[in-house]
């Protein structure tokens, strides 16, 4: 087991955005978290990545308690994420954006960077070469020297994924990666997510596009008003009446 969430709760005043949510994630799978807007999905991600401190409950990553750890500690442990609203460094090149992700694994540190030591120069060269590999993996290597803000929207999404992968995570969290994509881009995204899994990574996805969810998921967790109402395979979720009524709507067909 790579991740275990035990009775996770996050309250904002009197509002419980996430309430006693528990589930386990096995290594090497794609798990999707679905639910209507306001269901607590992004709050869950924010607790997992240290952006929010849970009110109650525990988070275990590779059997180690990471509850309340700072974001950089979570990254160092081996968890990376993308965001619902794209967060790239628009004025920097595509390559430089990915190199920033690699710097989280830097050995030389601040002093080496300031003094431009031989060790720093060697490592910087290695980071640049590694960053190209992540660009190739995500299919945007031809845009390496392009300013990130000038990338087409779908490729900006790929850049965010490349930068997250550059932190060399074991678990990657993708927050609505298909948002704003056209059907062809969504198909290409599904291929990329499967490729990430084949590369040995575990993936957790928040997504509203049911074609994407059903097309890539090994397992699905459904939230409604912060509460887990269902968990299972895509086939099981498709036939779950609670899910259909609470989220998908009566008469919904997959």
pLDDT 10s digits, 216-237: 999 999 999 999 999 999 999 9
Q: Where are the beta strands (DSSP E) in 86-237?
A: 171-175, 202-206, 219-224, 227-232
In angstroms, the CA 152 to CA 80 distance is: 23
- CA–CA distance, 132 with 149 (Å, rounded to integer): 18
**Residue whose entry in the numeric block shows the structure tokens 């979720």:** 237
**Going by C-beta distance under 8 Å and a sequence separation of 6 or more, which residues neighbour residue 168?**
78, 105
Of 49, 54, 60, nearest to 20 by C-alpha is 54
Q: Nearest 5°: CA angle at 94, between 92 and 117?
A: 70
Residue 192 in tokens: 């990329």
Distance CA 28, CA 219 (A): 12
> Alpha-carbon distance 112 to 1, whole Å?
38
What residue segments make up the domains of the chain, in order of their start?
1-78+169-254, 90-168
Q: Predicted confidence band at 28 (pLDDT cuts at 50, 70, 90)? A: very high
Say yes or no to pLDDT of 108 above 60: no
Cα within 13 Å of Cα(1), Cβ side: 11
Residue 111 banded pLDDT, cuts 50, 70, 90: very low
Residue of 56, 43, 2 whose CA lies nearest to 25: 2
Mean pLDDT of the chain: 90
What confidence score (pLDDT) does residue 118 get?
Answer: 63
Cα–Cα distance, 22 to 60 (Å, whole number): 11
Vertex 60: Cα angle to 97 and 230 (nearest 5): 95
- State mean pLDDT over 26-48: 94
pLDDT of residue 110: 40
Is residue 247 over pLDDT 90? Answer: no
Helix (H, G, I), strand (E, B) or coil at 71: helix
Band the pLDDT of 162: cuts 50, 70, 90.
Answer: very high
Predicted pLDDT at 243? 87
The neighbour count for residue 132, using CB atoms within 10 Å, is: 15
Domain at 1-78+169-254, CATH from 3.30.360.10, 1.10.1200.10, 3.40.50.300, 1.10.3720.10: 3.40.50.300
For residues 180 and 197, give the distance between their C-alpha atoms in angstroms, rounded to a whole number. Answer: 23
Q: Which residue has the tokens 């509203």?
A: 208
164-178 pLDDT, tens digit per residue, is: 999 999 999 999 999
User: In angstroms, what CA-CA distances link 205 with 83, 111, 212?
Assistant: 11, 38, 10
Question: Can you tell me the distance from the alpha carbon of 243 to that of 254, in angstroms, rounded to the nearest whole number?
Answer: 12
pLDDT, position 75:
94
Q: What is the pLDDT of residue 107?
A: 57
* pLDDT above 70: residue 115: no
Give the helix, strand, coil percentages of the chain, each rounded to 5: 45, 25, 35
> Which pLDDT band, with edges at 50, 70 and 90, does 189 fall under?
very high
pLDDT on residue 147: 96
């Amino acid at each position: 087991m790579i991740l275990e969430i035990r009775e996770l709760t996050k309250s904002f005043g009197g509002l419980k955005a996430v309430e006693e949510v528990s589930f386990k994630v096995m290594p090497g799978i794609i798990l999707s978290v679905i639910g209507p807007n306001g269901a607590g999905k992004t709050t869950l991600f924010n607790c997992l990545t240290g952006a929010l401190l849970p009110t109650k409950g525990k988070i275990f990553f590779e059997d180690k308690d990471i509850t309340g750890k700072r974001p950089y500690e979570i990254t160092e442990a081996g968890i990376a994420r993308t965001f619902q609203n794209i967060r790239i460094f628009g004025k920097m090149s595509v390559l430089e954006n990915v190199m920033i992700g690699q710097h989280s694994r830097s050995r030389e540190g601040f002093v080496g960077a300031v003094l431009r030591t031989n060790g720093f120069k060697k490592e910087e060269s290695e980071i640049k070469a590694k960053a190209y590999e992540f660009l190739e993996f995500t299919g945007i290597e031809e845009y390496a020297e392009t300013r990130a803000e000038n990338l087409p929207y779908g490729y900006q999404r790929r850049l965010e994924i490349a930068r997250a992968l550059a932190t060399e995570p074991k678990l990657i969290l993708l927050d609505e990666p298909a948002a704003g994509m056209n059907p062809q881009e969504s198909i290409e995204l599904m291929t990329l997510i499967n490729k990430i899994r084949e590369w040995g990574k575990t993936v957790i996805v928040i997504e509203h596009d049911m074609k994407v969810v059903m097309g890539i998921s090994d397992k699905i967790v459904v939230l409604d008003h912060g509460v887990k109402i269902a968990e299972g395979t895509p086939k099981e979720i498709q036939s779950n009446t609670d899910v259909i009524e609470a989220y998908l709507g009566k008469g919904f067909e997959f």
